[in-house]
Structure 1
Amino acid sequence: MYKLKTTETDNSVIEFIESVESPKKRENAYQLLDIFTETTGYTAKMWGPSIIGFGTYHYKYASGHEGDAPLVSFSPRKAKISLYFASGDPRREELLKNFGKYTSGKSCIYINKVADIDIHVLKVLIKQSVNFLKETYPNQ
């Protein structure tokens, strides 16, 4: 049976951020921590060893695969900072047009630093992702 790799832990978010080697990445992580906390209203929790998540939802796919995940999250990785938003949200691409400098994967947006992006658009993306997931997976 498939075992989820990324689950919520009791690890300290602050201790994790303090363990980030690059002082600039640490500074960016604290900025994002404030922005995500303020925008979502949720307390930050560690998910796995390196993802800082906010809120939670339970998903179940047609295949039967199910689990829990944060509504939105980020991770100050060595190369880039990963921002995790809902995939499948039709408004995401429109919002990203004014986001700033980034690259993207399926549900992940990669940035070098917070100064490269529009904070207002980031807040809208966070809110939109949370709302989209709450609508898609009600009864949370």
Structure 2
Amino acid sequence: MSEMSPDEYLDAVDEKRRADVRALDALIREEAPGLDRVVQRGMLGYGPFRYRYATGREGEAALIGLAAQKRYLSLYVLCAVDGRYLAETYADRLPGASIGKSCVRFTALGKVDEQVLRELVAEAAGMGPRDAAGV
């Protein structure tokens, strides 16, 4: 399978989700301008980094990920603060979303507070990947 560019990824998103994904991409790029944009694991990634667990297992990830799923838009935030994933700490401020450990899922951008998403992305970008592993 050939590598897809971030712009090609955006062009390939289902038409009904494309406007929201483009808006989220713009939001992330505005709030985290220092993070490189890549396509990883079938999603847009911002701030790619390499990790290594104490067990020796290594891999690649991105500080922030954005995926257009069939039923949801998913924003992955791989940062930890005080032993919890950063996304979890925003759960009460994003009532229109389903929050997992590191994932914020919502059906449409209009269902969540965009300003809160901006704050989440900016905080993650400020933390960087040094805080992303080992919750």
Query: TM-score band (shorter)?
Result: 0.7 to 0.9
The answer to whether the aligner puts 1:51 opposite 2:70 as a matched pair is no
Q: Please point out which of 5, 8, 11 is paired with 2:4.
A: 11
Letter in structure 1 aligned against 2:39: M
Contact 2:5 2:39 in 1 (8 A): yes
Query: Given residue 98 of structure 1, which amino acid in structure 2 is its aligned partner?
Result: R
Which structure carries more strand by proportion? 2
Q: Find out whether 1:106 has 2:113 as its counterpart.
A: no
Of the three residues 127, 130, 134, the one matched with 1:132 is 127
Unpaired runs of 5+ in structure 2? none
* Change over 3 Å in CA distance of 1:87–1:39 after alignment to 2: closer
* SS of equivalent residue, structure 2 residue 90: helix
Aligned length: 127
Match of 1:3 in 2: none
Structure 1 position 97 matched with structure 2 position 92: yes
Distance in 2 (CA, whole Å) between partners of 1:69 and 1:130 is 14
Q: Return 5+ residue gaps in structure 1 as ranges.
A: 1-8
The AA in structure 1 aligned to 2:11 is E
Q: TM-score, normalised by structure 1?
A: 0.77
Residue identity over aligned pairs, in percent, reads 24
Indicate which of 99, 104, 117 corresponds to 1:122: 117
Of residues 114-123 and 38-47 in structure 1, the stretch that sits farther from structure 2 once superposed is 38-47
Equivalent of 2:25 in 33, 38, 41? 33
Q: Kindly report structure 1 stretches of 4+ aligned residues shifted beyond 4 Å.
A: none
- Deviation readout 1:27-69 (Å, 9 max, x if unpaired): 1111011001111113421113x21011122221122112221
Residue pair 1:74, 1:81 contacting (<8 A) in 2 also: yes
Candidates 48, 53, 59, aligned match of 1:67: 59
C-alpha change, 1:59 and 1:30, in structure 2 (3 Å) is same
